[in-house]
Amino acid sequence: MLAERIIAALREIVSQKNVLSEPNQVKAYDCDAYVAEKSLPSAVVFPESTDQVARIVKLCNAESIPFLPRGAGTGLSGGATPRNGELVISLARMDKLLAVDFDNQRAVVQPGFVNLVLTKEIARRGFYYAPDPSSQSVCTIGGNLAENAGGSHCLKYGVTTNHVVAAKVVLASGEVVDFGNPFGDPVGYDVLGVIVGSEGTLGIATEITVKILKRPEAVKTVLAYFDHVDDASRTVSDIISSGIIPAAVEMMDKLVMQAVDKSRYHVGYPVDIEAALLVEVDGLSAGVEDTARRVVGICEKNQVRTVRTVKDDAERALWWSSRKMAFPAIGRISPDYLVQDGVIPRTKLTEVLRRIAQLSGEYGLRVANVFHAGDGNLHPLICYDARISGQREQAMKIGERILELCVDVGGSITGEHGVGMEKIEQMAYMFSATDLEAQRRLREVFNPRDLCNSGKLIPHPARCAEFRDTQTTAPQNLG
Amino acid sequence: MAYMTAETSVPSLSSMIADTPDADKYSVCVHCGFCLEVCPTYQELFDENQSPRGRVYLIKEVAEGRLSLDAAVIDPVYTCLDCRACETVCPSGVQVGALIEETRGQAHAAQLPHGVNDRLERLFLRHIFPYPVRLYAIGGLLKVYQRAGLRWLLRRLGLLRILPQHVQEMEAVLPAVKARPALQTLPPRMAAQGVRKATAALFTGCVMDVFFASINEATARVAVRNGLEVVVPKQQLCCGALQIHAGDRQQARELARQNVDAFLATGAEYVIVNAAGCGAALKEYPELFRDDPEYHSKAEEFSGRVRDISELLVEVGFEAPTGRVDHVITYHDACHLCHAQNIRDQPRRILRSIPGLKVVDMQDSERCCGGAGSYNLTHPQMAGQLLERKMDDVPEGVSAIAMGNPGCMLQIKVGAHRRHQDIDVLHTVELLDMAYAKEAR
């Protein structure tokens, strides 16, 4: 709990209605969409301008109050979850579209602006915003910037960092600075590149300039059902080695298909196939038909059971909803799940899936798999029931083993969900002490007092072991 | 300290009161947050507590004894519109509406204040709506009031100004009340026109029958015209939806028992209803009888027969009218039709079948108008904000807005009145009835 004096100072900055400070009012802010670990914030504050954010951060510095930024709370690695009784700075009310320049293909948004709303706002002129995380209907562009969010179509179009060109940032000290440049390459150090993906550990972006793209002239989507995962993964490799650059290549396994088919995003996958592949190609009308035919040919060469091209926009929307709603649809078959985010070289897919199946058997917990197959970004969904004692810990253990497996085959521990608190121990598995020390020194430049989202992304030296002690509803800030 | 951890939990309300929120319902939520952006109250307040995910989380924490059922929980639970937009998007299938209603039931049973004018609410929900005689007496008074020039006199004397603004506006847009409700004027049995396809028992409702008795009459005519024998069980009562929304589940159960008995006694294959809110409540009766096996199974049988009029017309087949109705119209999806009953296409098919009617799409037609039963009276500020957004979404140049719920009709009439817009607010079935009436005989 914050002292009454500090609550009063916050109210002074943002007005009475924009501060939540009673313990029962802040309960809903004890985690984001990563629910395995929770802890209460000291308060929640809702600024409405850059100036208010800067004043709040300065107050935190003056009073040594830990703080962290939060968007829609859809993050999957605990980036917005307090671990030190932080003051949560919710940017949800900073949700304005500040400017659109169609001719130069740029838009300026506040951090609380929702990803898909940008596309909706500019669609009438034939434009869209390319990064498309599955939570795009809800997640904010500020959150996307913090996590360097990806999405299904990032295979061809790149992740958030490839689309953010400038940002106004309130540093951890409260100073307001501009990084990047709406046009042209960065001049001086590419600090914006450091800020994007820094998971709220360096500062808080309050105005973000992004690229907007012209909708491709034509899109074709292909859905293929395979009896064997091996055939599906060989198909993915063959498509890419043939020189085709698909907009997206997504794979779902049997358990994921079962779960999502129980939801309202029902496609009706055959119950006895091992894998479904969703491939999208886009570009100029002239080439797209032909490319889609080549994709179908490659599927056929790899023992596909059935493969077909989408018949209309409604069907395309359904196929994509089915894929994008896959994570939460796991709720249909399991009360809780932990989603992992490892990256592997594409050619290791079959081997890694086999090892994941073994781990699943070993720990006695089901693991469903859905992934961006084109860039080797796996999302194993580990099913557990938090009400059964010990299952949550088991699920976290499998998660760690899977990430280590990804590193062992030459991959990495995160593709797009961020490290947050969830994967922080695996940072030491992936990087040497010297590597981490270099990153830590970089953080100290912007966040010298470590007040801003401490305990996320980069582990503190020799403190890894104690991280797991901060568990559900930590009582330290109950007042 | 109200907050407590699992280790120090005290006996929760759950163990003391019936209708506890069901663990099987809240454990389905995986906390993804995909519901936030469709929640009208979250869109206005941007507060996690005022989102479906936040509310379900609070309900779970209370049910499991880690949080007390105090104002920090009760305010979000009552600020919810119960519009179910979250249920439409939820990949995991969380029944947010049922959880909200059950938690309100607990708050109500524990007699916790919830910021609403409790005495006024109790008067209406306990002492007026359940009694047709009293309800229609109010209707009669309204009629006298409207006809006898009292309305003019009161307005002239400025007496209306003592009422809350929303009530004043509601008074201004009330349709001319009919002399008698359809429940009294309609014959108990009306033969089907042509070959009888089925028998349908008409549910007349309370708000619908007091304010819009003519829509009930239109519903009966349209059903008969399409081969349905229509019966009107005279023992029926208010559906109980408003009581459920307010948390008075005991009163709702009493109403539900009588309705179940009255309708099952007719032997009709269908129960037809033209009010979305009532339809959803009737279809969800089994939820009220979780602890009453006898009525649970009766309620299941009853609910299986309930159809919205647009749903039934499409199900049994309706005749496209040949009479013209010249209107440029837009359709508003009542929450309890689209989200609670998954009825979206049927009313649009009916509207598109009417010659002369041009149907223009409304942006975000599935977002709540703020009417939400009695929400516009209990939460006028939020209801007003949502009404503004709804009126902003009405396309330019339309002469009428169609919908399938009397609560929405009253609310949107207020919206048009506020903006001095000359737009008719009509029920889908009224338009079909008009088209049939204009056919050359």
Which of A181, A214, A247 is a domain's end point? A214
| Same-domain status, B310 and B187 | yes
Å between B49 CA and nearest CA of chain A:
6
Answer yes or no: do A232 and A286 share one domain: yes
B299 and B193 within one domain: yes
Domain count across chain B: 4
Closest CA to B217 of B204, B205, B228, B227: B204
Looking at the predicted structure, is the pLDDT value of residue A309 above 80?
yes
Same domain, B165 and B189: no
pLDDT band at B23 (very low <50, low <70, confident <90, very high): confident
Identify which of A198, A86, A89 has the alpha carbon closest to the alpha carbon of residue A146: A198
Same-domain check for residues A234 and A249: yes
Asked whether residue B175 carries a pLDDT value surpassing 80, the answer given is: no
Cβ atoms of residues A413 and A387 within 8 Å: no
Q: Mutate one of A20, A25, A77 to test the B interface: name it (highest B CB count within 10 A).
A: A25
Cβ atoms of A216 and A60 within 8 Å: the answer is no
Task: Mark whether B404 and B327 lie in a shared domain.
Answer: yes
Does the beta-carbon distance from B57 to A92 stay under 8 Å?
no
Total number of domains constituting chain A = 4
Within this chain, do residues B272 and B168 fall inside the same structural domain, yes or no? no
| CA nearest to B76 within chain A | A25
The average confidence (pLDDT) of chain B is 88
Query: CA-nearest residue of chain A to B37?
Result: A138
Q: Which domain holds residue A193?
A: 97-214
In whole angstroms, give the CA distance from residue B288 to residue B254.
Answer: 10
| Within-domain flag for B2 | no
Domain membership flag for residue A375:
yes
Nearest in space to A278 (alpha carbons), one of A220, A238, A221? A221
Query: In terms of C-beta distances under 8 Å and separation of at least 24 residues, what long-range contacts does A351-356 make, across chains too?
Result: A351/A409, A352/A378, A352/A405, A352/A406, A352/A409, A353/A229, A353/A233, A353/A253, A355/A405, A356/A380, A356/A402, A356/A405
| Closest to A332 (Cα-Cα) out of A257, A233, A260 | A260
Residue at which a domain ends, from B154, B173, B192: B173
> Residue B6 domain-assigned?
no
End-to-end Cα distance, chain B: 75
Sign for the pseudo-dihedral over CA of A61, A64, A66, A72: negative
Q: Give residue-wise pLDDT tens across range A253-291.
A: 999 999 999 999 999 999 999 999 999 999 999 899 999
Per-residue pLDDT band for B170 (boundaries 50, 70, 90) equals confident
A310 lies in some domain: yes
Residue A329 CA to residue A242 CA, distance in Å, equals: 34
Does residue A74 share a domain with residue A178?
no
Q: Testing the interface with A: which of B47, B66, B344, B366 to mutate, by most A Cβ within 10 A?
A: B47
Q: Which of A292, A312, A329 is the last residue of a domain?
A: A329
Q: Does residue A377 have a pLDDT over 90?
A: yes
- Positive or negative torsion for Cα A61, A67, A72, A76: positive
Residue at A397 is within a domain: yes
Q: Are residues A413 and A350 located together in one domain of the fold?
A: yes
Average pLDDT, chain A: 93
Same domain flag for A151 and A209: yes
| Contact criterion met (CB below 8 Å) for B205 and B248 | no
| Nearest chain A Cα distance for residue B425, angstroms | 29
Extract the tokens encoding A389: 């004692």
CATH number, domain with residue A26: 3.30.43.10
Work out the pLDDT band at B140, boundaries 50, 70, 90. confident
3-state class of A390 per DSSP? coil
What is the ipTM, given to two decimal places?
0.93
Is residue A165 in some structural domain? yes
- Contact between residue A1 and residue A34 where contact means Cβ atoms under 8 Å apart: no
Largest CA distance in chain A: 71
Q: Which of A300, A329, A358 is the last residue of a domain?
A: A329
- Asked, for residue A131, whether it belongs to a domain, the answer is yes
Q: Is residue A192 part of a domain?
A: yes
pLDDT at A468: 41
Do residues B199 and B122 share a domain? Answer: no
Do B134 and B196 have their domain in common?
Answer: no
User: Is residue B5 in a domain?
Assistant: no
B101/B199 same-domain check: no
Residues B346 and B419 placed together within one structural domain of the fold: yes
- Return all residues near B230 (Cβ < 8 A) that are at least 6 apart: B186, B189, B190, B192, B199, B200, B201, B202, B220, B223, B224, B272
The answer for A 350-409 residues in CB contact with B (under 8 A) is: 387
CA A238, A239, A241, A242 torsion: positive or negative?
A: positive
User: Is A449 touching B (CB cutoff 8 A)?
Assistant: no
Judge whether A435 lies within some domain: no
Check which CATH number belongs to the domain holding B36 and give it: 1.10.1060.10
Rounded to two decimals, what is the model's pTM? 0.91
Whether residues B198 and B104 share a domain: the answer is no
- Supply the range of the domain harboring residue B329: 320-437
Pairing assessment for the beta strands B270-273 and B198-203 based on DSSP bridges: parallel
A423-447 pLDDT per residue, tens: 999 999 999 999 999 999 999 999 9
Among the candidates B314, B348, B376, a domain finishes at B314
What CATH number did the domain enclosing A239 receive?
3.30.70.2190
Q: Answer whether A263 sits within 8 Å of B32, measured CB to CB.
A: no
d(CA B151, CA B154): 5
Is residue B3 a part of any domain in this protein?
A: no
Q: Which residue has the tokens 């917990």?
A: A365
- A67/A20 same-domain check: yes
Q: Are residues B413 and B334 in the same domain?
A: yes
Q: Are A364 and A353 in contact (CB under 8 A)?
A: no
Per-residue pLDDT averaged across B359-377, rounded? 93
Report the pLDDT value the prediction gives residue B168, as an integer from 0 to 100. Answer: 75
